[in-house]
Amino acid sequence: MSEAGSGRQGERVGGGRYRLLGELGRGGMGVVWRAYDEALGREVAIKEVRAPAGFGDRDIDRLYARMEREGRAAARVSHRNVVTVYDVAMEGRPWIVMELVRGLSLADVLDAEGPLPSARAARIGAEVLAALRAAHAVGVLHRDVKPGNVLMANDGRVVLTDFGIAVVEGDAALTLTGELVGSPEFLAPERALGRSPGPESDLWSLGVLLYAAVEGFSPFRQDTPLSTLRAVVDESLPRPRRAGPLTSVLEGLLDKDPRRRLPAAEAERLLRLVAAGGTPAGGSVSSPNAFGPAATAETEPLGRLPEPGATPAYPPAPDADGPAEPPDDPPPWRQRAAVAALVAGVLLAALSLGGLAWALLNKGG
């Protein structure tokens, strides 16, 4: 069955308190409205869920439950870089009432301006990371960090929004039939392999966002969701050409092993250093080996995705400028950390692999 009813301009929701003024945007699962709060005399944004045609009752119920959880997850995080949720109104389905952030998404900015200077990208990254650290501190994982979910407010703030697939510590998972949770090109390798996410998974997504912001393209994007996930798991990171002092930060955030990923506090410190015009210790370019094969002597592969048929040919990473050089000293955060011996990577169970492949190949019918 499909969902009955949808919002209309001029309609009042939330017991008549909120009057819908006009659409701000829409996607496959709903519409975001500009609305007026009659009780407090202010404009707000309201997210209305709209289940796609063909959804059964069970999936619609799960979608509504996830929408309510989005409101709870975002409301748990009180931070200037996280969108503020005011209310969740229930009228047949949930309507999330939140602050109206005037401005553009980072995706819109990148479309209009192209690649950003490293200092500007670092400032944006530091603000997003501050939002993520605040969320992680109260047990919330965002799981969908990407340029479209980062708002560049007219008042100068950088605001992380859309906690629609966030995980709140202690809550059960709410996954829809055949749904891939998250955007494949921003998904961390451990999540692509079906493993439980942690804060490090959000840090990987931030690294992909920063790479796209300075280089002008997403490093692992392929023609299909499945080939994109294979690239995330198996392919080496294309060597950055424009990142400059951000290069070592990208290396740290985009380590395929979450245990070796750059810690959040150190990442924020380095991002603020680059934003202020500085260069992380050790120079602006990290070891050439950072952009070599994903599997090394130190870190074996996390696993491989199933291959239905022949393995697709991936576009090669851009050629390095000249022959490989001996590795530099390890980055400062790894010198300071007490590194435990790493065990061999664990192969993912065949059932999990088959389930992921089925979900991807059957997504959208």
Q: Indicate if the pLDDT at residue 295 is higher than 50.
A: no
Once rounded to an integer, what is the mean pLDDT over residues 43-53?
Answer: 83
Structural domain contains residue 6:
no
pLDDT at 207: 98
pLDDT at 290: 55
In a shared domain, residues 75 and 202: no
Query: Which CATH number characterizes residue 119's domain?
Result: 1.10.510.10
In a shared domain, residues 124 and 258: yes
Say what the pTM is: 0.73
In a shared domain, residues 267 and 169: yes
Q: For 75-116, write each residue's pLDDT tens digit.
A: 888 999 999 989 888 777 778 899 999 999 999 999 999 999
Q: Final residue of a domain: which of 78, 99, 120?
A: 99
pLDDT at 39: 94
Q: How many domains does the chain have?
A: 2
Distance between terminal CA atoms of the chain? Answer: 16
Lowest mean pLDDT of 75-79, 218-222, 237-241, 270-274, name the range.
75-79
Cβ neighbours, 10 Å, residue 176: 17
- Most confidently predicted of 13-22, 44-53, 216-225, 351-360: 216-225
In a shared domain, residues 212 and 351: yes
Query: Which CATH number characterizes residue 76's domain?
Result: 3.30.200.20
Q: At 147, list the tokens.
A: 């340029």
How long, in residues, is the chain? Answer: 365
The band of 65, judged by pLDDT with boundaries at 50, 70 and 90, is confident
Q: What is the DSSP letter of 82?
A: B
CB of 135 closer than 8 Å to CB of 84:
no
φ/ψ of 88, rounded to 5, equals -125, 105
Instruction: Say how far apart CA 298 and CA 211 lie, in whole Å.
Output: 24
pLDDT at 337: 42
At 44, is the secondary structure helix, strand, or coil? strand
Instruction: Say how far apart CA 186 and CA 297 lie, in whole Å.
Output: 26
pLDDT at 18: 93
In a shared domain, residues 61 and 173: no
pLDDT at 74: 77
Percent of the chain with pLDDT over 70: 68
Lowest mean pLDDT of 38-52, 199-213, 255-269, 285-299, name the range.
285-299
Structural domain that includes position 24: 12-99
Structural domain contains residue 124:
yes
The band of 186, judged by pLDDT with boundaries at 50, 70 and 90, is very high
Structural domain contains residue 250:
yes
Structural domain contains residue 89:
yes
Angle of CA points 328, 118, 149, to nearest 5°: 115
The band of 28, judged by pLDDT with boundaries at 50, 70 and 90, is low
pLDDT at 165: 59
Q: Indicate if the pLDDT at residue 267 is higher than 90.
A: yes
The annotation status of 256 as a binding-site residue, yes or no, is no
Instruction: Say how far apart CA 305 and CA 353 lie, in whole Å.
Output: 6
- Most confidently predicted of 18-27, 30-39, 250-259, 330-339: 250-259
In a shared domain, residues 293 and 146: yes
In a shared domain, residues 41 and 182: no
Choosing from 57, 61, 144, 319, the catalytic residue is 144
In a shared domain, residues 208 and 176: yes
Listed in sequence order, the residues at least 6 apart from 196 whose beta carbon sits closer than 8 Å to its beta carbon are none
Cβ neighbours, 10 Å, residue 259: 13
Please give the mean pLDDT across all residues of the chain: 76
Q: For 306-339, write each residue's pLDDT tens digit.
A: 444 433 333 334 444 444 444 445 554 554 443 3
pLDDT at 318: 43
Q: Final residue of a domain: which of 99, 118, 150?
A: 99
In a shared domain, residues 51 and 130: no
User: Is 144 a residue of the active site?
Assistant: yes
Helices (H) and strands (E) in the chain, counts: 10, 11
In a shared domain, residues 78 and 146: no
The most distant pair of C-alpha atoms in the chain lies apart, rounded to whole Å, by 68
pLDDT at 353: 36
pLDDT at 182: 61
The band of 346, judged by pLDDT with boundaries at 50, 70 and 90, is very low
Once rounded to an integer, what is the mean pLDDT over residues 58-70?
Answer: 78
Instruction: Say how far apart CA 329 and CA 358 lie, in whole Å.
Output: 43
Q: What is the DSSP letter of 319?
A: P
Structural domain contains residue 4:
no
In a shared domain, residues 87 and 113: no
